[in-house]
């Protein structure tokens, strides 16, 4: 039936012969679905739909209202990738933390609400890294990593960055 939503005009249940229910969400014209999450709460099915974030009209704080969760990959006892063999340079976990911390400061100065999942650079399991983003209904989840190559690889053959997103 009809719903009050910035994203959808209506939600229609379809009762299937096997006893299951299929829900059809009819998006409003020009609405942008940014993401969704399906959860169970006791006996209820909860479906969270998120509209795309928009830049603030305040030019000095364009990210007001945007929630960003930052993960500095690895950490704790897990060094991640190591640098040049035999060197005493930083491990990946240290580079990740420095990059994540600096990015958090810049994003906060632009108005974003930023949460670092491991503010003391500790080692977390997968759920420990992802759960804050789900709980906060974050607009963005950024995980910092630095790759390395094997000792036998000519690093001059590789350049650039990788960005993964969902």
pTM summary value: 0.78
- Number of DSSP helices (H) and strands (E) in the chain, helices first: 2, 7
71 strand-pairing partners: 143
For residue 156, the model assigns a pLDDT of: 81
68 strand-pairing partners: 114, 140
Contact 61, 41 (CB under 8 A): no
- CA-closest candidate to residue 103, choices 45, 49, 130, 63: 63
- Residue-level pLDDT, tens digit, the chain, 166 residues: 667 888 999 999 999 999 999 999 999 998 899 988 898 888 998 888 999 999 999 999 999 999 999 998 887 787 777 766 556 778 888 888 999 999 999 999 999 999 998 777 777 787 888 888 888 899 999 988 887 777 788 878 877 777 766 5
pLDDT tens-digit map of 87-113: 677 888 888 899 999 999 999 999 999
Helix (H), strand (E) at residue 34: strand 33-41
Distance CA 143, CA 2 (A): 38
| Both structure tokens of 141 | 């989840």
């Amino acid at each position: 039936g009809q719903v009050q939503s910035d994203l959808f005009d209506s939600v229609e249940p379809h009762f299937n012969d096997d006893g299951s229910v299929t829900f059809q969400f009819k998006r409003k014209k020009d609405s942008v679905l940014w993401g969704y999450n399906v959860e169970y709460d006791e006996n209820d099915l909860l479906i969270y739909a998120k509209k795309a974030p928009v830049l603030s009209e305040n030019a000095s704080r364009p990210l007001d209202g945007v929630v960003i969760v930052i993960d500095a990959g690895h950490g704790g006892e897990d060094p991640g990738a190591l640098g040049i063999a035999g060197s005493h340079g930083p491990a990946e976990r240290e580079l990740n933390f420095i990059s994540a911390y600096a990015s958090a400061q810049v994003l906060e100065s632009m108005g974003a609400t930023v949460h670092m999942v491991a503010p003391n650079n500790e080692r977390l399991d997968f759920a420990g890294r992802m759960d804050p983003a789900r709980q906060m209904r974050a607009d963005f989840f950024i995980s910092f990593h630095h790759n390395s190559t094997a000792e036998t690889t000519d690093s001059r053959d590789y350049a650039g960055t990788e960005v993964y997103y969902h």
